[in-house]
Amino acid sequence: MTDRVAANTPQRIATLQRMFSKNRTHRKLEERFLNLLERRRVELQAGMIAEARCIALIGASGSGKTRAAEHLFATQPDLVLHNCDSSRLDIASFQVPSPATLKFVGQTALETLGYELRRDRSAQIIWSMVKAHLQARRTMFLHIDEAQDLMRHQTPRELNAVVSTLKSLLQHKSWPVGLLLTGTAELKTLINHDPQLARRVFPIEVARLNILVDSDRILKAIAHYAKAAGIAVSADTLNPDLAARLVHAADREFGLMNEMIIQSLEEAMITGDEEVRREHFTSMFRKRAGCVDGLNVFVDDDFERIDVRRLLDHGDDA
């Protein structure tokens, strides 16, 4: 390994991590969001007030929900996204805090809107302040990440309060605010808890990888990242068997697959190799899962039996 290779590896990896791959989920999300955004802008211009709508982006851990939302907002022109000199904040985005009490969630929303609460207030007052600040900052969308946590450990009464708070944002009389909820499958239970909320939601499930149809695309993704990294990859390495193993290793999640390709390229870089090969995928998986080679997806013939979400598996306590 030369010093030059070792020294610039972090920069090369950072470049790869900044790359964003689009699939049909991102296109669907963007189309839905732009439709709602455009509608809202027209209503504002016309001085009309209509109920807002909610988009729910649902997928497993590592599917790429947080990244999809960040990318969606960052790539729209003319949106004010950060607390800066402008009093306008078109999109406010926060992650559900823990504990996810209505009061604490409201307080987090207020902080996101640039307001720090100095006195203890009731959940009701906090949420009326949130609505006032959303209006003052002309916020059109509120993005709540890890939204499934809104229902974790809630009593039925608290759950009703959460759902009616979400509805009241959409139905606000003077400043309705659209919602983007991103979360895991439990988020469906939250939405389906109330038919009035459910009918205002456009659900989008993050598409999972399917080796029967996605094999070529996956091999192209490996080639694309390798090229951006300045690392060679032979046609021999880029075979359907590698794609099938990678899909399984990533538990069919798109985000994890991209992450694993980058980490495999990093393995090639840190060993000073100019070419990425299957062995780099093997060591990537070994490092991630902490497993023995018998349970490594890139080694075992019967790789589909391996539970890839299980860490540090040594095959002795199954």
Ligand X SMILES: Nc1ncnc2c1ncn2[C@@H]1O[C@H](COP(=O)(O)OP(=O)(O)OP(=O)(O)O)[C@@H](O)[C@H]1O
Segment interacting with ligand X (CB under 6 A) among 56-64, 86-94, 231-239, 273-281? 56-64
Cα angle, residue 277 at apex, residues 276 and 282 outer, rounded to 5°: 115
Q: 21 is in the binding site of which of ligand X, Mg ion, none (Cβ under 5 to 8 A by kind)?
A: ligand X
The listed partner (ligand X, Mg ion, none) that binds 59, CB under 5 to 8 Å by sort, is ligand X
- Give φ, ψ of 264 to 5 degrees: -70, -40
Q: Which of 21, 76, 83, 164 binds ligand X (CB under 6 A)?
A: 21
Strands of the chain (E only): list them.
54-58, 91-95, 141-145, 178-183, 201-205
**66 belongs to the binding site for Mg ion (CB under 5 A):** yes
Q: Is 67 in the site for ligand X (CB under 6 A)?
A: yes
Segment interacting with ligand X (CB under 6 A) among 59-67, 160-168, 229-237, 271-279: 59-67
Say how many CA atoms lie within 13 Å of 23 toward its Cβ. Answer: 22
Question: Which one of ligand X, Mg ion, none interacts with residue 255, CB within 5 to 8 A by kind?
Answer: ligand X
Secondary-structure percent of the chain, ordered helix, strand, coil, rounded to 5: 55, 10, 40
Is 178 an interacting residue with respect to ligand X (CB under 6 A)? Answer: no
Task: Choose the one of Mg ion, ligand X, none that binds residue 103, judging by a C-beta under 5 to 8 angstroms depending on kind.
Answer: none
Q: Which segment (38-46, 57-65, 77-85, 108-116) binds ligand X by CB under 6 A?
A: 57-65
Residues 211 and 244: their CA atoms lie apart, in Å, by 6
In whole angstroms, how close is the CB of 66 to ligand X at the nearest point? 3
Q: Does 176 bind ligand X (CB under 6 A)?
A: no
- Minimum distance between the CB of residue 176 and Mg ion, rounded to whole angstroms? 26
Angle between helices 3-18 and 254-270 (to 10 degrees): 170
Distance CA 57, CA 84 (A): 28
| 61 in contact with ligand X (CB under 6 A) | yes
Does 168 help bind Mg ion (rule: CB under 5 A)?
Answer: no
Alpha-carbon distance of 87 to 102, in angstroms, equals 26
The helix/strand/coil state of 133 is: helix
Comparing CB distances to ligand X, the nearer of 24 and 173 is: 24
Residue 228, classified by CB atoms within 10 Å of its CB into exposed (0-12), middle (13-18) or buried (19+), is: middle
Q: Is 62 in the site for ligand X (CB under 6 A)?
A: yes
Our finding on whether 59 is near ligand X (CB under 6 A) is yes
